[in-house]
Amino acid sequence: MHRSIAADLESKRLADSYLFAGPDAETLLQAALEFAKKISGSPNEVFVLDFKTQTELLALKPDEAARQKDYRIESIRLLVSRSQLSTLDSKKKVFIIDGAEDLSPAAANALLKSLEEASKHAVWILLSQSSERMLPTVLSRCRKVNFAEGQAERLEIDEDAFSKLPGSAFSWSAQVLAAGKKVGGRKAAEQFLKALSLRISEDLHRNPTPERADSLLAVLSAQQDLARNVSPQAVLDLALLSVKP
């Protein structure tokens, strides 16, 4: 997990709203979902707004759904009304907007009003690959968390075999770095961690367990450490020691 949001969880000083920014939409969503689960303690109190859920919220007809290019003010108003309701267990609800740069001007202003008033019952997480397209006043209300860019190169190593854990974590680190000599050790580590996070995320979706959730958080945290120029060998060693098959 990104250190800044991990620190918020540890100190129990959550911001009312966050902006997760970076070029990889899948990484942003994975990180937001894991953070949201830690905040709410229940997947039932996490809502993700994307064009599919907007279609359901507004009961759009098929032709209307196909023409969607932005998030409408009606969708934001519905989420804002939900955010103001308390939960029976006093846990916070979490609202994730996937692709927040696609908020219409009216929707962005409606969201801004809610962020300014800040409900004690909810946390907002905005995800954006193009935050420069977002309303500056909305950006100013969010705690920004930057996520590093993933790499597209493919390593000559079988990530699937990792689930069998042959040998120690340290031997696996050596294998990853050796396989990535052509692209460089840092890129090799980045690509392997990205592939590993996707595999663990898939496993977590099929069979959610605390161990898999912790493993995913460890890999996401390792990706952030790597972006801060921590040694690839050290990052891989720590990440692989933390991952449970």
What is the amino acid identity at position 128?
S
- Asked, for residue 219, whether it belongs to a domain, the answer is yes
Shared domain for 176 and 122, answered yes or no, is: no
- Asked, for residue 108, whether it belongs to a domain, the answer is yes
CA 72/CA 105 separation, integer angstroms: 9
What does the pLDDT read at residue 170? Answer: 55
Shared domain for 15 and 133, answered yes or no, is: yes
- The least confident of 98-107, 144-153, 185-194 is 144-153
- Enter the pTM of the model: 0.62
pLDDT tens digits for range 37-53: 888 877 778 999 999 99
What does the pLDDT read at residue 167? Answer: 46
- Asked, for residue 45, whether it belongs to a domain, the answer is yes
Q: Is it the case that residue 112 has pLDDT exceeding 70?
A: yes
**3-class SS of residue 203:** helix
Shared domain for 13 and 86, answered yes or no, is: yes
User: What total number of domains does the chain contain?
Assistant: 2
Shared domain for 186 and 230, answered yes or no, is: yes
Of residues 166 and 176, more confidently modeled = 176
Asked if 178 contacts 184 with a C-beta cutoff of 8 angstroms, the reply is no
Q: Give the domain range for residue 165.
A: 159-242
Helix pair angle (25-40, 3-11), 10° resolution: 10
> Hunting for tokens 């689960």 — which residue is that?
37
Name the domain boundary from 146, 177, 205: 146
**What's 96's domain CATH number?**
3.40.50.300
Shared domain for 83 and 180, answered yes or no, is: no
Asked if 143 contacts 179 with a C-beta cutoff of 8 angstroms, the reply is no
Q: Is it the case that residue 99 has pLDDT exceeding 60?
A: yes
**Which whole number is the average pLDDT over 114-133?**
91
Q: Is it the case that residue 159 has pLDDT exceeding 90?
A: no
Q: Is it the case that residue 27 has pLDDT exceeding 80?
A: yes
CA 22/CA 9 separation, integer angstroms: 21
Shared domain for 111 and 164, answered yes or no, is: no
Of residues 65 and 204, more confidently modeled = 65
Shared domain for 20 and 141, answered yes or no, is: yes
pLDDT tens digits for range 198-217: 778 777 777 788 888 888 88
- Asked, for residue 151, whether it belongs to a domain, the answer is no
Asked if 22 contacts 240 with a C-beta cutoff of 8 angstroms, the reply is no
